[in-house]
Structure 1
């Protein structure tokens, strides 16, 4: 076994799949990795090209999976600049490309126990950040040469964060024993800055729509994004399945209730919206309860290809919103206002939102009953939405879009009349991995309650010190 790159500290044997570490005493066997999952990518071991006119080669790849939510591994590529021997990690997630680099030596890192999704803080070597996700992960497979010694199968806590201007990073807290804590800091980048020797653009679609078979009814289910999707709900029988092995297999988990209405935009429909070619791959019905009344709304997940990733359309009472996910670090939300791109957005409402019905293909492990706290801020051009659960925070920007534009974009009939949804009308709010935007009915209800409370208080000769609970603020701001 020989090492090609001076900075490599470990290598995976291509014959026996053992990870071997390079030490001052020779080579040491660390552990065996699993077979690689075929996740489509223009990058492969040995890929050559230029990044911002700097010559590079892909020296290695790792595939990781979440602990407790396995079956949807993601991959990161170790890229070496040939002139400087510097190593970068390249990853693709939900339509965005990122690079990171290990900060060595690592600065003093915040204690894991005091971090929560949405917390804003200053981090040495990174600057102002927002905690985006907290979880546990493990290395499941790898190939080639690696700039660190991985421990296959060993769970380690991690924290993903983001900041202004595309800043992105990860804190890996290690296992408290043989695996030290590491800090990786980088940015989202434009894939057009990569020029591969193959001539293939980095953001080119890497997979055609693939067909898989429902493990319950045998129905044919198209997979639009098998490399990034994690769960699919059969449109024929409602079976919920985990997507395994990059779409090569499905594992049935149970039945989901059928939505009470058919999606206005059919699953699989392709169209053009806001200058982007999109395909409808998922349909979700969500709801919230206010003053004992249940309100529901509908969301459509659209896949816009590797360049843009996922976007949403949200509809309630035929009021439509075009929803674009944002990195959490691009939004500064605190108390009664949020800042985004230099503009201020005023607090509107905060509600608890639950998934009630779901069908189609999704980039997270969607579950019936999954609940998030969704907070909205209104301002120039639309709504900033911040959605949190105990593990992560998601942000998005919502802009009005007409039903006519949607109908023309998908070449379908205009939206039905409001009477078609009369039994399913109500207010709406975003949810963790859903669209994240809502119309105003809930806010109207809350305003009415506040007005009545003030009137009653005045009639009684003053306030009793009580109030109307609208929603929680943010911790750690």
Structure 2
């Protein structure tokens, strides 16, 4: 460890890692550059925003039998959210990074590339690339702004510094290419982790987090909409992107001063089967409904997705369609899929059903990414017996989720009176009822035309065929058009 004096305030600044070139003074936020025989003042860096992460400088853990300590952090923001990157120093003097986003964690360490790496401008989410002689799928491609820093870092960073990064997946393997500096990108490889699996020590508890951030992390709180004053329930430190259910205003609650992102227009209150704020016990875990959004496919078919959060279990989804309910979770370990008709997960093959476009038509509540009406994704769905997989692709990101059917009676048992309506008609019965009014109308029109055939033929002799035919067509339309309307009501 090397201890120097801050050039700005004179306080002690510690460099624990020989690889660190910059440290942030914890007293005055000055960026201190370590040079060969001196230190230099690089100016101030912004403090991190409301700090809800349980991790802090000094947190320790073990990865694969290798102890590590957290020695630094940068905070990054992109157009749909923000995340932390914690700088780690292992006991063997090597270093790594711990990504921290919405309660999900990923550890990566620097590796030497074995071949040329693709250019940042050529990368597209969802495409496959060969990295170190293995094929990986691009999970997301982003440019993010540094908005704060702490501790020591292996490079010079500050306000205005941008990170250009791309993440890749192959099963449980994870690769990050960092294009932030000039020259070839840096290659990092890693795996998804949990704080429990790393046996983390010196984590901040709820009271410490509340003292620094003003609220408890991950516990429901209320925020008044800056536009209309309606209360919005959200999870501090977990769901900073809010959509007011009353006026549709988008709100960023990640900064100390709530920021209105888009002045919402007054909208008719949507009716949901499951109330926002409803709490239930799924298995042995408590969950609360914190967000809801409606989506539609290319043909206009709509469904509703509810975002749930549990203090110990994290995020999960409930999906409501015309055919019933299902429960879905985002996958940390990805299926293997080459774009063909099957995807493989846990040595099981899933058959591809269809691909379609989807658009968000309505959103309300709290989310762990920025969502708004009009957001579009491309979806590919796969199925094996009762289990379904879905790959959802945007211009910047690809995600995979797995879902299983959920009985309506089970939903009622979990949430009780917060569930409205009855079980949806599904399966053969739904198929049988679809278009029933039009079918009845067609049959009636055929019978009517058969009965009118003789009068129509007779009218040809006296010159009244045109008028008689027109009356028949008007009668058919008078029967068929209401049937179309009734079928549309039936579908809704």
TM-score normalised per structure 1? 0.77
1:122 counterpart residue number:
130
- Answering whether residue 260 of structure 2 is matched by residue 251 of structure 1, we say yes
- Match of 2:410, SS state, is helix
Deviation at 1:108, TM superposition (A): 2.7
In structure 2, how many angstroms separate the alpha carbons of the residues matched to 1:50 and 1:200?
Answer: 17
8 Å Cα contact 1:95/1:308 also seen in 2: no
1:262 counterpart residue number:
271
Deviation at 1:395, TM superposition (A): 1.2
Q: 2:177 aligns with which of 162, 171, 174?
A: 171
In structure 2, how many angstroms separate the alpha carbons of the residues matched to 1:140 and 1:320?
Answer: 40
1:461 counterpart residue number:
none
Q: 1:229 aligns with which of 239, 260, 269?
A: 239
Q: 2:326 aligns with which of 321, 336, 355?
A: 321
Deviation at 1:45, TM superposition (A): 1.4
* RMSD of aligned Cα (Å): 3.2
Counterparts of residues 136-175 of structure 1 (less than 5 Å)? 136-165=143-172, 167-175=173-181
Deviation at 1:159, TM superposition (A): 0.7
1:240 counterpart residue number:
250
8 Å Cα contact 1:352/1:371 also seen in 2: yes
- Answering whether residue 93 of structure 2 is matched by residue 85 of structure 1, we say yes
Q: Decide whether aligned partners of structure 1 residues 236 and 22 sit closer, same or farther in structure 2, where only a CA change above 3 A counts.
A: same
Q: Decide whether aligned partners of structure 1 residues 257 and 162 sit closer, same or farther in structure 2, where only a CA change above 3 A counts.
A: farther
In structure 1, how many angstroms separate the alpha carbons of the residues matched to 2:100 and 2:286?
Answer: 20
8 Å Cα contact 2:237/2:254 also seen in 1: no
Q: Decide whether aligned partners of structure 1 residues 151 and 250 sit closer, same or farther in structure 2, where only a CA change above 3 A counts.
A: closer
Counterparts of residues 42-57 of structure 1 (less than 5 Å)? 42-48=54-60, 54-57=66-69
- Answering whether residue 348 of structure 2 is matched by residue 343 of structure 1, we say yes
8 Å Cα contact 2:351/2:382 also seen in 1: yes
Deviation at 1:28, TM superposition (A): 3.9
**Greater shift after overlay, 47-56 or 17-26?**
47-56
- Answering whether residue 291 of structure 2 is matched by residue 282 of structure 1, we say yes
Deviation at 1:317, TM superposition (A): 2.2
- Answering whether residue 393 of structure 2 is matched by residue 398 of structure 1, we say no
8 Å Cα contact 1:116/1:134 also seen in 2: yes
Deviation at 1:139, TM superposition (A): 1.9
Q: Decide whether aligned partners of structure 1 residues 304 and 130 sit closer, same or farther in structure 2, where only a CA change above 3 A counts.
A: farther
- Answering whether residue 27 of structure 2 is matched by residue 23 of structure 1, we say no
Provide, for residues 217-268 of structure 1, a one-character-per-residue CA deviation record: whole Å limited to 9, x for no partner.
22332222x22324211233332212231x7523241215646642222111
- Structure with the largest fraction of helix: 2
2:8 counterpart residue number:
none
- Match of 1:251, SS state, is strand
- Answering whether residue 223 of structure 2 is matched by residue 216 of structure 1, we say no
8 Å Cα contact 2:361/2:373 also seen in 1: yes
8 Å Cα contact 1:8/1:146 also seen in 2: yes
8 Å Cα contact 1:161/1:329 also seen in 2: no
Deviation at 1:146, TM superposition (A): 1.4
2:453 counterpart residue number:
none
8 Å Cα contact 2:82/2:101 also seen in 1: no
Provide, for residues 282-321 of structure 1, a one-character-per-residue CA deviation record: whole Å limited to 9, x for no partner.
111111232xxx221111111133x543211111126001
1:471 counterpart residue number:
none
Deviation at 1:55, TM superposition (A): 4.1
1:449 counterpart residue number:
none
Q: Decide whether aligned partners of structure 1 residues 332 and 362 sit closer, same or farther in structure 2, where only a CA change above 3 A counts.
A: same
**Greater shift after overlay, 354-363 or 189-198?**
189-198
8 Å Cα contact 1:404/1:414 also seen in 2: no
In structure 2, how many angstroms separate the alpha carbons of the residues matched to 1:113 and 1:189?
Answer: 30
Counterparts of residues 175-186 of structure 1 (less than 5 Å)? 175-176=181-182, 181-186=185-190
1:468 counterpart residue number:
none
Provide, for residues 192-227 of structure 1, a one-character-per-residue CA deviation record: whole Å limited to 9, x for no partner.
23334448799x994432332210122332222x22
Q: Decide whether aligned partners of structure 1 residues 378 and 196 sit closer, same or farther in structure 2, where only a CA change above 3 A counts.
A: closer
**Greater shift after overlay, 107-116 or 355-364?**
107-116
8 Å Cα contact 2:241/2:253 also seen in 1: yes
- Match of 1:185, SS state, is strand
8 Å Cα contact 2:358/2:379 also seen in 1: yes
TM-score normalised per structure 2? 0.75
In structure 1, how many angstroms separate the alpha carbons of the residues matched to 2:265 and 2:387?
Answer: 33
**Unpaired segments ≥5 residues, structure 1:** 427-439, 446-477
Counterparts of residues 357-368 of structure 1 (less than 5 Å)? 357-368=362-373
Counterparts of residues 9-20 of structure 1 (less than 5 Å)? 9-20=21-32
8 Å Cα contact 1:169/1:186 also seen in 2: yes
In structure 1, how many angstroms separate the alpha carbons of the residues matched to 2:139 and 2:200?
Answer: 31
- Match of 2:15, SS state, is coil
Q: Decide whether aligned partners of structure 1 residues 94 and 252 sit closer, same or farther in structure 2, where only a CA change above 3 A counts.
A: closer
Deviation at 1:60, TM superposition (A): 0.9
**How many aligned positions are there?**
411
Deviation at 1:98, TM superposition (A): 1.3
- Answering whether residue 15 of structure 2 is matched by residue 8 of structure 1, we say no
Deviation at 1:357, TM superposition (A): 0.9
Counterparts of residues 401-416 of structure 1 (less than 5 Å)? 401-412=406-417, 415-416=420-421
1:452 counterpart residue number:
none
